[in-house]
Amino acid sequence: MPITKQQALDYHFGGRPGKIEISPTKPCRTQRDLSMAYTPGVAVPCLEIKNNPHDSFKYTGRGNLVAVVTNGTAVLGLGDIGALAGKPVMEGKAVLFKRFADVNVFDIEVNSHNPDEVIKVCQLLEPTFGGINLEDIKAPECFYIEETLKKTMHIPVFHDDQHGTAIITGAALLNALELVGKDISKVKVVFNGAGASGIASAEHYVRLGVKRENIFLVDTKGVVYEGRSEGMNPYKQRFAQKTKLRTLEEVTEGADLLVGLSVKGAFTPAMLKSMASHPIVFAMANPDPEIGYDEARAVRKDILMCTGRSDYPNMVNNVLGFPFIFRGALDVHATAINDEMKLAATRALAALAKEDVPDSVCRAYGVERFAFGPDYIIPKPFDPRVLVWEASAVAQAAIETGVAQEPVDLAEYREQLEKRLGKAHEIMRVVVHKAQAKPKRVVFPEGENDKVLRACHVLVEEKIAHPILLGNEQIIRNWAGELAIPLDGMEIVDPAVSNWRETYIQEFYWLRQRRGITLSDARELINNRNVFGSMMVHMGNADALVSGVTQHYPDTIRPALQIIKVRDGIHKVSGLYALITKKGDMLFLADCSVNIEPTAEELVEIALCAAEEARRFDVTPRVAMLSFSNFGSTQHPLCDKVRKAVELLHRADPNLIADGEVMADVAVSPEILESGYSFSQLKGGANVLICPDLNSANIAYKLLSTIGGVQTIGPILMGMRKPVHLLQRGAEVEEIVNVAAIAVMDAQGLETPVPAGRSPEPVVALPRQ
């Protein structure tokens, strides 16, 4: 999807400049901690390492630390822009290593075009790192650098530009050939692009079973053939063929596989027509492939195709490779990443694509089902199973080939990998993809606000929602012009001149005439954009409402309660936050925003709504009713209220895992629960925490988000007849997008419209945020 220059700069500059930081793994809060972290305590592991160098993996972070090394001579599609200019890419690589495989990275930018100097830097830094990832170094120097380092170093060295593409397309090749029923030893393969990735992929295909004599390389000078001298090097020479063919068009005729690692438009419809039956095409130029997916499909209905784009099936993305390959290599302290480990990674990816895909992965990508076939031949990057399958396969290959210094029990290792995933990795992407599956109309009463406009731009670009902006059309258009935001895909509604205005006035008067509102009052109040927006949702002209970025909480929620009202069976709305810890665990905390002193009966409603919301996030709820007492340890009316709520909750939903009253630390500590309260239902710890009052809930979430390093999603308003979600004042663009995505997800659950009957008037105390 298109990204503006300013969006890219804001992303890299916002908050702390750059994309990575260092976080300590040991406490350093006291004088004793300081003495352990540095002198004199640090001397002890130093001497241990001096006596046994391999103990560096035991007493330092070396075993989980990779150097991403570049000299900036072949940065993405930008070419030779220099080492310093390539630093944002290397930091980006570090983010991917950490996000997908929990591998730490230092990026090393070497200011030299001399390959021997790059080699020397890596060799001198070997004591620092557990592995070296070479990145964005031009061919043919990259081949020489990697080959030399592999011969002289005793840690894994891996050039991702070469081997990442090779490994992932190798998996696609195996599965594609299986689907079209062709023998790998008999297929004709043509590569357009004879740089690092092209040559490495060709070599990898040979190891997979393609005959070298059946592989044809084409570069800017044409076909690589025996006797050619122009633009040749020893690496291309390995694939020089005895042939009279000289052009890509000539050599493509009768080919079974056409691999593009070149430029947009390099493949023509005529070339595809000349290929063998059931052709396979990997068109991986970015951002635009060598031939468009739709154009290729129009030419050959029997084609099986991969691209480098996420908006087409079978995206080839190197993030499916390098994080997990290094994870497996590091965890067994491998001295190299050899060919067998690369083959193991390829075969693991190919095998995983044939497995039944979990519903959570399908929902993350906004589809009902993925199934092995022409449109799904390699796993998706956000499939959490890739870590377990690929890293364990790489580790096993390292053990079997003798390069693992610390062999592991593979069954135990797979369990360790699964623990790394956490319980809520990439939660918001799952919500976003669910929203993308069936976008809904979301009305924003604060349509003239710049943050709302920027958020709505994202919602349209990512196809999350159909935004409706309330406000003066000229003001909104002026703001959009200043912000360089196109308004395509957004609807602007000015309450002052809307065709719906009179209808809304009459309906609002009908709803509130016995609550002290006259027709004259209704005509005045309809100018309140929260009232107008709530009426849009009530009347079915919008599916959800998101508001509050510039207003106090009571001013935002009151119109929604008066017009949209609570859903049947619920007496009070409540507020919930989703909390994502640094470990990736997900917790739900309620009620953080609405009810000041809920009764036992109201706590039950809050718990049931919170459990329902947890399920929307694909989390099985385990509910803890919190107090300052553990299972009757303290006798006090406040504890009695929570105990009563637990009893009522078990009656309301006997199948819900819920327990209490319990202290917060006990509720989230499986070890304490197991050792001291083994009778509790909360096996594994609670993930839905119901606080006894607003004081405790609001204080807890604000402390956790401010000084606890916890990421919060919300507030999520629960119990409304139709989705209404209220933002914190000053909410950032990302928070608005997240809440809007949640609103769409909630609206998707209301496919059958709820009748607009009269609900009991909610009686809710409204705190100011």
Rounded CA separation 748/439 (Å): 8
Contact call for residues 573 and 564 (beta carbons, < 8 A):
no
293 is catalytic: no
CA diameter of the chain: 95
259, β-bridge pairs: 191, 282
Enter the tokens of residue 76.
Answer: 């993405």
* C-alpha radius of gyration, the chain, whole number: 30
Q: What are phi and psi of 286, to 5 degrees?
A: -125, 145
Rounded CA separation 679/671 (Å): 13
Rounded CA separation 420/423 (Å): 9
DSSP secondary structure of 443-467: EES-TT-HHHHHHHHHHHHTT-EEE
Side chain identity, residue 227 = G
The pLDDT value recorded for residue 1 is 57
Q: In which order are the strands placed within the sheet that holds 280-283?
A: 222-223, 215-219, 189-192, 257-260, 280-283, 304-307
For the chain, the residue count is 769
Rounded CA separation 281/624 (Å): 54
Rounded CA separation 460/368 (Å): 22
Contact call for residues 393 and 325 (beta carbons, < 8 A):
no
Closest among 643, 571, 580 to 608, alpha carbons compared: 571
Contact call for residues 506 and 492 (beta carbons, < 8 A):
no
Rounded CA separation 691/675 (Å): 24
Query: Pairing mode, if any, of strands 440-444 and 544-547?
Result: parallel
The pLDDT value recorded for residue 768 is 32
The pLDDT value recorded for residue 751 is 56
- Reported as type and span, the H/E element at residue 178 is helix 160-180
- Reported as type and span, the H/E element at residue 107 is strand 104-109
Question: CA distances (Å), 406 to each of 50, 197, 545, in order?
Answer: 19, 31, 56
Interhelix angle for 733-748 vs 450-461, to 10°? 50
> E strands along 384-472, which residues?
440-444, 465-470
Closest among 748, 764, 432 to 606, alpha carbons compared: 764
Residue recorded with tokens 């919930």 = 576
The rounded Cα 625 to chain-centroid distance in angstroms is: 31
373, β-bridge pairs: 376
Q: Residue 40: which residues within 8 A CB-CB, separation 6 or more?
A: none
- Reported as type and span, the H/E element at residue 65 is strand 65-70
Q: Which residue among the candidates 5, 19, 26, 38 is catalytic per the annotation?
A: 38
DSSP 8-state class, residue 2: -
Q: What are phi and psi of 484, to 5 degrees?
A: 55, 40
Does the CA dihedral 330-336-342-343 come out positive or negative?
negative
Residue recorded with tokens 């990442």 = 164
235 is catalytic: no
Q: What are phi and psi of 671, to 5 degrees?
A: -65, -45
The pLDDT value recorded for residue 2 is 65
The pLDDT value recorded for residue 758 is 35
Our separate counts of H helices and E strands in the chain read 31, 21
The pLDDT value recorded for residue 427 is 67
Contact call for residues 625 and 646 (beta carbons, < 8 A):
yes
Rounded CA separation 538/755 (Å): 9
Mean pLDDT of successive 10-residue segments in the chain (769 residues)?
Answer: 81 87 86 91 95 95 97 89 96 94 96 97 97 94 96 96 95 97 97 94 97 96 95 94 96 97 94 97 91 95 92 91 97 97 98 82 77 93 90 98 96 81 58 88 95 91 93 94 88 94 93 90 93 95 94 86 88 89 84 91 94 88 94 91 94 92 91 88 91 93 84 85 88 85 88 39 36
Q: What are phi and psi of 579, to 5 degrees?
A: -115, 130
Side chain identity, residue 395 = A
- Reported as type and span, the H/E element at residue 626 is strand 622-626
Q: In which order are the strands placed within the sheet that holds 586-590?
A: 657-662, 622-626, 688-690, 586-590, 574-580, 711-718
Question: CA distances (Å), 566 to each of 226, 593, 722, in order?
Answer: 78, 16, 8
Does this model's pTM top 0.75?
Answer: no
Contact call for residues 324 and 395 (beta carbons, < 8 A):
no
Burial of residue 6 (CB within 10 Å: 0-12, 13-18, 19+) is exposed
Does the CA dihedral 246-249-255-258 come out positive or negative?
positive
Question: CA distances (Å), 297 to each of 172, 181, 256, 311, 371, in order?
Answer: 18, 19, 16, 15, 20
Enter the tokens of residue 498.
Answer: 């809307």
Rounded to a whole number of angstroms, the distance between the first and last alpha carbons of the chain is 36
Rounded CA separation 672/214 (Å): 63
Rounded CA separation 683/692 (Å): 22
Q: Which residue among the candidates 19, 26, 59, 93 is catalytic per the annotation?
A: 93
Side chain identity, residue 207 = R
